[in-house]
Structure 1
Amino acid sequence: MNRFKKVLAAFLAAVMFVTLSPLTSFKTEAASATVGEIVTAYGKKFMGVPYVFGGTSPRGFDCSGFTQYIFKNSAGISLPRTAEQQYKIGKAVSKSNLQPGDLIFYANTYKPGISHVGVYAGGNIVLNATSSSGITLVSMNDSYWGSKYAGAKRVITDQNWFTDVSKSDNTYAAIKSLTDQEIIAGFDNLQFRPDAKVTRGQAAAIINRVLKITPAQVSHFRDVGTSYYFAKDIAAMKEAGIINGYSDNTFRAGAEMTRDEMASIIKRAFNLNMTQSAAASVKYTDIRAGHWAYDGIIAIASLDRTGYYSGTKYNGTKDASREAFAVAIYNAMKTQ
C-alpha cells in the first residue's frame, strides 16, 4: 500500500469512529465550531493530496473540485463545479471581514479572468489546491498568490440551517440568535443536536462568550490545565462565582449538568431575580419554594419568550440539553 493509500485509510477510519461513536460526538469540543470552521477543518484532513486537473475526489483535486467536495461533504452545501461559476454566487466580502469558510478567488493564473479558488482558513491563510504542493495552506501575502487575489465570497448564509432544527420550532429564534452571534454553534453536516447534553466546560465557554470576562489567572483546578480549550472560560466562571468547583479542587469539565444546576448557574451569571408575581405565573408541580434551585428555575421559566419552558413539570433532575441551555441563555440575554 503506497503512502497516499495509507493516509486515506487512516482518514476513513477516523471518520468512521467519529460518525459511529455517540460518546465522541456528544462530548466533542467541536460543538463550539462555526460552519465555516467545520468546513476548513474538514478540508485540512486532505493536506498533501495531490493536485489533479479536473480532479474532484481524495485521489486528487483541482481547486474548484476541492472546494466543491469539502463544502458538500462537511456541511451539505452544494457549489457549482468551476471557480468561475463559484465566483458568481454568494455575497462579496472585503479582506477586512473575512471569516473561515469564505471562498477566496484568484484571477489570471493559468488563463485570463477568474481561474482559481481556495477557502479562507483564518489567520490570513488560505486552504489552497496548488499544482506544486497539492492541498496546502498559503498566506494571503504570498508573493505569487497575493498578486492574483481577485476577491472573496461568502456562501455560508442563513439558508445553511441546521437539519435537525425546524424553522417552525419554538426554539428556532433562540438557537438562531445564539448561533448568529457565535455564542453556540453546531456539529458536522449542519446538525445542532438539540438533545445532546451540555458539559460544565461547554457551559462555562458559552456563558463567557456572552459576558466576556477576562480571568486574573488561567488555572484554578488540578484537572484543568492552562492549555485546555476552555481553561480561560472556566477560570472566568470561577472568579465570578458563577460555576464553582468541587471540594477536591477539580472542576470536572466533561461532566454533564442537570436542569436544576443549569437554572442556578444562569441565575447567577445574569443576576436574574425571582419575584412573587413571577412565581405565581409558573405552574410547575414538581418544584417547591425552598428547593436550592427554586429561584433560578422560576426566573428562567417566567422570562421564557419561546414557550419552551411552559407546562406543569420542570424535570430539574434530568440532564440539561443544548436546546434547553440555548433557550435559557437567550431569554436571560433579553433581560440585559
Structure 2
Amino acid sequence: MKKALSFLLMLTFLISGLPRAYAENNRDEVVKMAKEQLGAPYRFGGTTPSGFDCSGFVQYVFDAVGIALPRTTSEQYETGVAVNKEDLLPGDLVFFKNTYKSGISHSGIYIGNDEFISATTSQGVSIASINNPYWGPKFAGGRRVIEEPLPPGQFYDVSPDHPAYQAISELGKAGIIHGFEGSYFKPDLPVTRGQAAAILNRYLKLPAPSTKSFSDVSLGMSFAKDIAAMKEAGIIFGYKDGTFRPYENITRTQMAVIIDRAFRLSQSPAIAGAAVKYNDVHPSFWAYPSIIAIKAVDRTGVFNSSSFHGGMDATRMAFASAVYSAIQASQK
C-alpha cells in the first residue's frame, strides 16, 4: 500500500505555458507604457502625464496594465518579492536610498541592460543606468510584482525558513499536494474531507471498485474516485445519513486519525511507545493513539508543542507536514 515517494512528478498547472506567457506579456506592456511617458515633466505629488513624481510614475504605469501598487515609494518597497540586482527582469521595480532624503527615497522601473526608467527632478521621466556614478552607490534593491510561475514544489508564500517548507516542497514536487494559481500554497487554509481523500490517494494509489459510494458524491465530482478508495480501505468513512460531505473541513483530530489509518502509524511498537504527549489530550481520548503517533513521527517541528488543539481545523500546512512525516516513517 505504500509507494516510494517519487520526486519526478510535476504539477501541470505550474509548468503550463499560460502563466509564464502572461507574465512576459505584462513585462513587455510595463516597459512599453513606461517608455511612452519619456519626457513627461516632474511634479512633486504628480500622478499623471502632465507631471509625475517617482512613485506616481511607477503607480501610473502599473495601473495601466492592471496591477495596483501603493502610492508612496516606501510602500512600494514593501510590495512583491525581493530581487537581487543580478536577477532583475524588465518590469521589476528598482529602489534607491539617500537621494533627496535619507532612507528609501526613489523608485523606478527596470527595463533591461542595467537601465531603469523613472521620474527625476532634473530630467522628468528619463532612462539611466542603475550603475552610473550617481545611482550606483544609492541602489537599495529590486522588487518583483509581476509574478513568475515557480518550479514545482516552490511557492511564494512558503519560504525556506517556514517550518513546513521541506514537507510542502517535496510533496509538491511529487504532485501529492497542489498549490493555487500564481504559485501560491496558502498554508493556513483549511483542508476539506474531499481534499484529504485526494491528497492521501495521490500517494497511496488505492483502487476504487465504484465511484458511487455516497449520496452527495456524484460520479463527475472531483475526488470521487479518491473518496471511494478511502471508504473501501477504511481510511475515511461517511456519515450515518449516507453522505460524505466532501466540502466539510476536517479537524486536527480527524487529520491524525485518517493519516494514522492510512499509514498504520500507531500499530508500530516504536511509535506507540514514544515518550511524547500533549497536555490537552488525555490517554483515555478515543483518538489519543493517532494524535501521539503524529507527534512521534513529526519531521518538521510543526507538531512540537505542548498542546494539540484537536478541535481546530487542520490547515494545509499541518496536513502536508503530517503526511510527509508519515511517509518518511513508513519508508523506514
The verdict on a shared fold, with TM-score over 0.5 as the criterion, is yes
Q: Verify: 1:191 aligned to 2:184, yes or no.
A: yes
Distance 1:168 1:306 in 2: 11
Distance 1:43 1:227 in 2: 31
* Structure 1 residue 186: Cα displacement: 0.9
Aligned to 2:306: 312
Q: Return closer, same or farther for 1:200/1:79 CA change in 2, 3 Å cut-off.
A: farther
Aligned length: 207
Q: Verify: 1:269 aligned to 2:248, yes or no.
A: no
Distance 1:323 1:79 in 2: 31
* Structure 1 residue 79: Cα displacement: 11
Aligned to 2:14: 35
- Aligned partners of 1:186 and 1:193 also within 8 Å: yes
- Aligned partners of 2:265 and 2:271 also within 8 Å: no
The C-alpha deviation readout for 1:92-147, integer Å capped at 9, x for no partner, is xxxxxxxxxxxxxxxxxxxxxxxxxxxxxxxxxxxxxxxxxxxxxxxxxxxxxxxx
Q: Return closer, same or farther for 1:159/1:233 CA change in 2, 3 Å cut-off.
A: closer
Which residue identity does 2:219 align to in structure 1?
T
Distance 1:273 1:188 in 2: 36
Residue from 200, 203, 206 that aligns with 2:196: 203
Q: Verify: 1:282 aligned to 2:261, yes or no.
A: no
Aligned to 1:216: 209
Distance 2:239 2:153 in 1: 41
Aligned to 2:223: 230
The C-alpha deviation readout for 1:3-56, integer Å capped at 9, x for no partner, is xxxxxxxxxxxxxxxxxxxxxxxxxxxxx864235x648989xxxxxxxxxx96
- Aligned partners of 1:260 and 1:317 also within 8 Å: yes
Q: Return closer, same or farther for 1:206/1:195 CA change in 2, 3 Å cut-off.
A: same
Aligned to 1:61: none
Which residue identity does 1:273 align to in structure 2?
S
**Counterpart mapping for 1:121-140 below 5 A:** none
Q: Verify: 1:325 aligned to 2:319, yes or no.
A: yes
Distance 1:251 1:159 in 2: 31
Aligned to 1:254: 247
Q: Return closer, same or farther for 1:206/1:79 CA change in 2, 3 Å cut-off.
A: farther
- Aligned partners of 1:33 and 1:187 also within 8 Å: no
Gaps in structure 2 of 5+ consecutive residues: 1-10, 23-27, 31-64, 66-80, 82-86, 91-147
Give me the TM-score of the superposition, normalised by structure 1. 0.55
* Structure 1 residue 281: Cα displacement: 2.3
Q: Return closer, same or farther for 1:209/1:280 CA change in 2, 3 Å cut-off.
A: closer
Which residue identity does 2:321 align to in structure 1?
V
Which residue identity does 2:260 align to in structure 1?
K
- Aligned partners of 2:294 and 2:326 also within 8 Å: yes
- Aligned partners of 2:206 and 2:229 also within 8 Å: yes
- Aligned partners of 1:301 and 1:309 also within 8 Å: yes
Distance 2:194 2:153 in 1: 27
Q: Return closer, same or farther for 1:160/1:282 CA change in 2, 3 Å cut-off.
A: closer
Distance 1:200 1:181 in 2: 21
Question: After alignment, is 166-175 or 272-281 more displaced?
Answer: 272-281
Distance 1:192 1:215 in 2: 28
Q: Return closer, same or farther for 1:33/1:189 CA change in 2, 3 Å cut-off.
A: same
Aligned to 1:161: 154
* Structure 1 residue 304: Cα displacement: 0.7
Distance 2:213 2:151 in 1: 39
Aligned to 2:140: none
Which residue identity does 1:287 align to in structure 2?
V
SS at 1:265 equivalent: helix
* Structure 1 residue 163: Cα displacement: 1.4
Give me the TM-score of the superposition, normalised by structure 2. 0.56
Aligned to 2:100: none
RMSD over equivalenced CA pairs, Å: 3.3
- Aligned partners of 2:13 and 2:181 also within 8 Å: no
The C-alpha deviation readout for 1:152-202, integer Å capped at 9, x for no partner, is xxx966498311111012211100010000001111222111100000000
Aligned to 2:169: 176
Aligned to 2:291: 297
Q: Return closer, same or farther for 1:244/1:40 CA change in 2, 3 Å cut-off.
A: farther
Question: After alignment, is 274-283 or 162-171 more displaced?
Answer: 274-283
Distance 1:328 1:163 in 2: 21
